[in-house]
Structure 1
Amino acid sequence: MRMNPRPLGAVLREVIERLGLKSRIEAAQVVETWAALAGPQINRVTDAVWVRDGTLYVKLTSAAWRHTLHLQREQWRLRLNEALGKPLIQEIVFR
């Protein structure tokens, strides 16, 4: 029996969907992209970064940075979604 060939990318996307890994992969992409956009100065005061239900949580060790980033959170959200190429993040919470 001869099977119709399918592109490997399509097969991988299907497997990822079936295994329920899509949201975890997207969350990892968000965290990685955040680190790249934030740069070393912000990364030095970042304690933890995680994603839950379309919200990016960034735990900071500096109150001054937390305040500054909170005021800029919409700009960061727009930049992050632009870098990701899709609107994965609806909100950013700085703690």
Structure 2
Amino acid sequence: MEAAKAKAKARGVEPGARRGRITGGGAGANGQSPRRRRWSGPGADTRDPQPLGRLASRLAVDRGWNTRLANGQVFGHWARLVGDEVAEHAQPVALKDGELTVRASSTAWATQLRLLQGQLLTKIAAGVGHGVVKRMRIQGPTAPSWRKGPRHVPGRGPRDTYG
């Protein structure tokens, strides 16, 4: 080993220094061409495989789908967000500009939902994210229309309550 070190010193090469590979122009400090791919090594790299969830969320952010996905989560996870009992008697109808329209199965449940509105908004914000649902509009069941046909009597019609 000593003889090899002495011979290298005689040629002008410092012992222990590694020689880079001779390439065409543009070789980097380590002797490799910048165009040549290198291994990413043990650390994180942009070329490493990414989890599918991270790629999907990045795609949603790039395409501007975040608000639509959050709106879809309100409808898709309704029973989990508000609870099974409430979900049995109330269904989300529309979500536009932060206002969620909910249709109740009866007028009694519509009143109950109006009383629980603050708690429901808190649960929805915890499950989906803040700012997705800002207000709720609660509707009772719809009554049938009695104004049918070409000959109807003008006026208020029957005053029975439905639901």
Normalised by the length of structure 2, the TM-score is 0.47
Deviation at 1:72, TM superposition (A): 1.7
- 1:28-69 deviations in Å (ceiling 9; x for gaps): 112234322433433333354332222222112211100111
Question: Cα gap change, 1:56/1:11 in structure 2, threshold over 3 Å: closer, same or farther?
Answer: same
1:5 counterpart letter in structure 2: R
Distance 2:91 2:127 in 1: 22
Change (3 A) 1:80 1:4: closer
TM-superposition CA deviations, 1:61-92 (whole Å, max 9, x none): 211100111122111101221233x2122111
Q: Is the 8 A contact 1:57 1:92 kept in 2?
A: yes
Which structure exhibits the higher relative contact order, with contacts defined as CA atoms closer than 8 Å and separated by 6 or more residues? 1
Counterpart check, 1:77 vs 2:77: no
- Give the Cα–Cα distance (whole angstroms) in 1 for the partners of residues 92 and 136 of structure 2: 13
Shifted more, 73-82 versus 31-40: the winner is 31-40
Looking at structure 2, the residues matched to 21 and 45 of structure 1 have their Cα atoms a distance apart, in angstroms, of: 30
**1:1-95 maps to which residues of 2 (within 5 A)?**
2=37, 4-5=46-47, 7-8=50-51, 9-84=53-128, 86-87=129-130, 88-95=132-139
Q: Which has the larger radius of gyration?
A: 2
Which blocks of at least 5 consecutive residues in structure 1 are unaligned?
A: none
2-structure distance, mates of 1:56, 1:75 = 14
Q: Output the CA distance in 1 between the equivalents of 2:78 and 2:136.
A: 11
The percentage of counterpart residues that share the same residue type is 22
- Would the alpha carbon gap of residues 45 and 64 (structure 1) be closer, same or farther in structure 2, given more than 3 Å must change? same
Q: Which has the higher helix share?
A: 1
Greater alpha carbon shift after TM alignment, 44-53 vs 27-36: 44-53
Over the aligned positions, Cα root-mean-square deviation in angstroms equals: 2.5
